[in-house]
């Protein structure tokens, strides 16, 4: 091979490799900033406008917190067992007519034929339903601690004020805690 030809080929390779080298110099002006296309979305707490200020005891209303999320609604139905040693109440969410709360409580050995104060039971079933998605976003399960306390029940007026707290499951099986309150007339 001719020495000049080798020199030319070698010089050609060097020019190709050197010309592909990225330059990192800055000549002045506004520095362009790369924008990351992945955005960290922080979930915002759920509180509908109708529930603002509803964290109080009002006859015919229920409410509960799940973390920073707040749910509230009305109690449109309450039923006592014939022996009056248990009761159920339920009603739709204030924010969505197709979702709501159902609670069933066994209070044996207490009977609702007298005033009751500060009585707590774990014989409680609770679920928050969503008819649109045909799911139960929150539901009690056997083995998970969940309790309801009757703060007071006045036999003469049949009004009951109480609260509930404990662990429930979500549709994905994950456990979460919630706590709430209610005020209901038990017929």
In a domain, 9, yes or no: no
In a domain, 4, yes or no: no
Tens digit of pLDDT for each residue in 46-104? 678 888 888 999 999 999 999 989 999 999 999 999 999 999 999 999 988 899 999 99
What predicted TM-score, i.e. pTM, was given to this entire model? 0.74
Let me know: does 67 contact 176? Beta carbons within 8 Å: yes
Tokens matching residue 138: 């929150």
User: Given this model, what pLDDT does residue 160 score?
Assistant: 98
| Residue-range definition of the domain harbouring residue 90 | 49-185
Number of domains in the chain: 1
- Four-residue CA torsion sign, 103, 107, 112, 118: negative
């Amino acid at each position: 091979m001719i020495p000049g030809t080798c020199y030319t080929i070698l010089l050609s390779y060097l020019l190709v490799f050197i010309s592909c080298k990225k330059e990192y110099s800055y000549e002045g002006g506004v520095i362009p900033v790369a924008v990351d296309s992945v955005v960290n979305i922080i979930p915002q707490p759920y509180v509908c406008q109708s529930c603002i200020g509803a964290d109080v005891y009002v006859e015919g209303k229920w409410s509960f917190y799940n973390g920073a999320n707040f749910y509230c609604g009305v109690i449109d139905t309450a039923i006592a067992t014939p022996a009056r040693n248990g009761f159920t109440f339920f009603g739709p969410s204030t924010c969505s007519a197709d979702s709501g709360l159902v609670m069933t409580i066994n209070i044996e050995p207490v009977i609702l034929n007298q005033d009751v104060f500060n009585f707590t039971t774990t014989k409680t079933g609770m679920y928050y339903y969503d008819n649109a998605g045909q799911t139960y976003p929150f539901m009690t399960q056997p083995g998970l601690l969940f309790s309801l306390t009757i703060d007071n029940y006045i036999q003469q007026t049949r009004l009951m004020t109480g609260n509930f707290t404990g662990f429930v499951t979500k549709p994905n099986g994950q456990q979460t805690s919630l706590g709430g309150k209610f005020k209901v007339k038990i017929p």
